[in-house]
Structure 1
Amino acid sequence: MPNYTFLEAYKKIISFPTISAMDEPLDLSNKALIDWLGNVFSSMGFRISIQKVPHARNKYNMLAQIGSGQGGLLLAGHSDTVPFDEGRWNFDPFKAQVKDNLLYGLGSCDMKGFFAFILESLKDIPLDKINKPLYILATADEETSMAGARFFAEQQLIKPDMAIIGEPTELKPIGKHKGHMAQSLQITGQAGHSSDPDRGVNAIEIMVQAIEKLLTLRDSLARNYRDDSFSVPQATMNLGHIHGGDGENRICGHCKLNFDVRCVPGLTDDEVITQIDQALAPLKLSYPDRIDMQLMYPTAPAFACKNEHQIIELAEKLTGFKVENANYATEAPFINQLGCDTLVLGPGSIKQAHQPDEFISLDYVDPTVSLLRNMIKHVCYSK
């Protein structure tokens, strides 16, 4: 293995620009980082598989495996970051720096720096003695489409007993989280001069009726789909962006509304889409061919840990924290499709994610390395 110190590995990982963005000019390949990780884990005796991710722009997943047999442990994370706000950073986003025990850099907290913690935890572990496989997964495009995790779940290459996704949770295990979907509702009217409204079809007026239907559905979802273990217990709908028309003296010919829904476990994406279609069906009959709704990007379903192998009890014992839930979405539902107990659990705070001057406290190093080593020993060295 290359003799990287923890900070050297961290700085190397941060130095690779791996931005994911829907806007193509901002979107960057993660191949250089994936190749570097593959080489480092290969030098430690891991078998490496690097695969190009379909429906993505030159993005790759990496799976490293050591040991053989059934079950085992998967340590997973995404290799990409969000874009950064130029002019708002006081540090170079791609040159990790330490100041006052805080390590700054794009992805230092969310979350490709997690791979440096994994590498540090593997030092002085006799990997040739494990009797259940240990897997390391680096995925692509978590920050946009989650294409890497979706592709990995579809392949069903491995069947670990347990999986840890190292998103920043302050080392508190997350056993459930909400899903996320985003819809774009488009109303096509007929533009015309405002002096004669009957000669046109006002898209804003149709949108007002559509919003009334959606708000009624929002309230129904909140009443009927709840999980009181969440800080926001109900399924939510947010009307986030609306635009229509181009002048006060013109009948609006087009209006668009973007909105999102966050499902609790037990409410599937398909069920929500069906209920939205049913809510808007009367309007579609009244205004044929004028109402169209499309997913803005693939949905991320809600997640709940299976806990068939008591990963929750193990994580609570090793961290000292009780399992919690989160209102945001991660790759966990896709990793869960491998059939394993899955938790979201990693160093750093979600409050630092997607922020200028993103950082992680180095106080997380020792407890995170200890946690990962104990997880590996418990799962991969068990009889």
Structure 2
Amino acid sequence: MSHLISRFQQLIAAPSISSALPEYDSSNKAVIDLLAEWLTPLGFDCEIMRVPKERLGEPDKYNLIATLGSGPGGLVLSGHTDTVPCNPERWSSDPFKLTERDGKLYGLGTCDMKGFFALAIEAIENILNQLGNPKKLDLQQPLIILATADEECSMSGARVLVEQGRPKGRYAIIGEPTGLKPIRMHKGIMMETIRLTGNAGHSSNPSLGINAIDAMHDVITELKAYRLQLAKENHNQDFEIDIPTLNFGCLHGGDNPNRICGSCELAFDLRALPGMNNDQLRAEMEARLKPIASRHNVKFELEALFPGVPSFATDKNADLVKLAEKLTNHQAHAVAFATEAPFMQQLGMETLILGPGSIDQAHQLDEFISLDQIQPTVELLSQFINEYCIKSHSV
């Protein structure tokens, strides 16, 4: 337990914030280096992959592909190394210092999701101890620890992996906080902005300008109608919210009551069900909204705020799903939040989301993981490694 706590402490102490705001964004290299330092003595071949910068001046970001064993198939244990920004002054304790109280470990990333790596390494060491502590595991199929960059912001780390077609594995478990209950589906997410540009002028005479707020009113009305259509035509009872959702997040326009509004901007997100395609949804919205802009004689722009995440689904009868349900005694279900799972799926792997902690603690003040989640997680990961890497498994 002392080694495990030490690893937690070091991971939490290494800032790796991802943010669209440059003043908060930081590199994840310190976390990647720690993982490579711990995995190399266990026999892993550690490849550190630089992720191309998204923006000028952005800190360097990295993925880690740590591989033990060789050959086709095998198991990937995957997680992201970054965290969201935090407000240290509002925490009950230092978010970058692991703090134990009331049966919980507090710190930024304990739950979402640096802690998963410490637990995965603990599972590997437990197996080594059970086998008489050999220098490394003798595997029938490879075991890969995958650590990615920028999941909380752009998912650029996962996108680079897809571009390079690596790593190759048969099964992938993403250790996001699910309370150790398997997740086989989640919604996709798009974040879009609509900009309408008219002409400013004196409000005493409407003919002196083109009011972008008037045009945006009709755009929003059309998007609300589109939202109702999507909800009517698309249902999936596996989700708590069983329809796609479209949320108007922020609206900005104009600068003074006595001036015709020359420009207006709306930002929104759309969370699609499995089977729905983000590119098709964007094209449908553009086709419905452009005529409105033309009618108001305003310039229309529809822009993605980030590339978006596809929806994700693994078949309920997939081998990995069945094994996870057997080992956890929980039926696989669906969630609304997005993960790197569709990118692992694009690499050809059966993919499942399964990890310790609760999503309710993610992105919150005083983030924590309960101590009573630690041993069950270590035991569960040990079972997956044993089934998929050490022996031929059967469900």
1:298-377 aligned within 5 A: 298-306=307-315, 309-377=318-386
Relative to the length of structure 2, the TM-score reads: 0.94
Of 138, 157, 178, the match for 1:169:
178
- Gaps of at least 5 residues in structure 2 are 129-135
- 1:129 and 2:127 aligned: no
Relative to the length of structure 1, the TM-score reads: 0.97
- 1:72 and 2:70 aligned: no
Of 302, 317, 331, the match for 1:293:
302
1:35-46 aligned within 5 A: 35-46=33-44
* Superimposed CA distance per residue, residues 36-59 of structure 1 (whole angstroms, 9 cap, x where no aligned partner): 111211111100110111134310
Letter of the aligned partner of 1:19 in structure 2?
I
How far off its partner does 1:128 sit? 2.9
Distance 1:118 1:23 in 2: 31
SS at match of 1:128: coil
Contact 1:308–1:341, Cα closer than 8 Å, also in 2 = no
Of 149, 153, 172, the match for 2:158:
149
Letter of the aligned partner of 2:346 in structure 1?
Q
Distance 2:113 2:299 in 1: 43
Contact 2:4–2:122, Cα closer than 8 Å, also in 1 = yes
* Superimposed CA distance per residue, residues 253-281 of structure 1 (whole angstroms, 9 cap, x where no aligned partner): 11110011000000011111111111113
SS at match of 1:125: helix
Contact 1:173–1:324, Cα closer than 8 Å, also in 2 = yes
Distance 2:64 2:350 in 1: 21
Letter of the aligned partner of 2:64 in structure 1?
M
Provide the residue aligned with 1:241 in structure 2.
Answer: 250
Distance 1:378 1:217 in 2: 47
Aligned pair count reads 381
Distance 2:14 2:366 in 1: 17
Distance 2:316 2:171 in 1: 9
SS at match of 1:316: helix
Provide the residue aligned with 2:117 in structure 1.
Answer: 115
* Superimposed CA distance per residue, residues 188-231 of structure 1 (whole angstroms, 9 cap, x where no aligned partner): 11111110111110000000111111111111111112211101
- 1:203 and 2:212 aligned: yes
Contact 1:161–1:309, Cα closer than 8 Å, also in 2 = no
Distance 2:296 2:30 in 1: 51
SS at match of 2:90: coil
* Superimposed CA distance per residue, residues 268-296 of structure 1 (whole angstroms, 9 cap, x where no aligned partner): 11111111111113124324561111001
Contact 2:200–2:262, Cα closer than 8 Å, also in 1 = yes
Provide the residue aligned with 2:102 in structure 1.
Answer: 100
How far off its partner does 1:361 sit? 0.2
SS at match of 2:77: strand
How far off its partner does 1:153 sit? 1.7
Provide the residue aligned with 2:259 in structure 1.
Answer: 250
* Superimposed CA distance per residue, residues 314-372 of structure 1 (whole angstroms, 9 cap, x where no aligned partner): 00111111101001101111111111110110000011011111111010111100000
Query: Would you identify which runs of 4 or more consecutive aligned residues in structure 1 move more than 3 Å?
Result: 306-309
Letter of the aligned partner of 1:151 in structure 2?
V
Provide the residue aligned with 2:63 in structure 1.
Answer: 61
Contact 2:198–2:298, Cα closer than 8 Å, also in 1 = no
Contact 1:77–1:165, Cα closer than 8 Å, also in 2 = yes
How far off its partner does 1:6 sit? 0.8
SS at match of 1:255: strand
- 1:380 and 2:382 aligned: no
- Gaps of at least 5 residues in structure 1 are none
Provide the residue aligned with 2:4 in structure 1.
Answer: 6
Distance 2:374 2:166 in 1: 31
SS at match of 1:136: strand
Provide the residue aligned with 1:190 in structure 2.
Answer: 199
Provide the residue aligned with 1:20 in structure 2.
Answer: 18
SS at match of 2:239: coil
Q: After alignment, is 158-167 or 65-74 more displaced?
A: 158-167
Contact 1:162–1:309, Cα closer than 8 Å, also in 2 = no
- Percent identity among equivalent residues? 46
Of 78, 85, 88, the match for 2:87:
85
Distance 1:171 1:177 in 2: 16
Q: Name the Cα RMSD after superposition.
A: 1.4
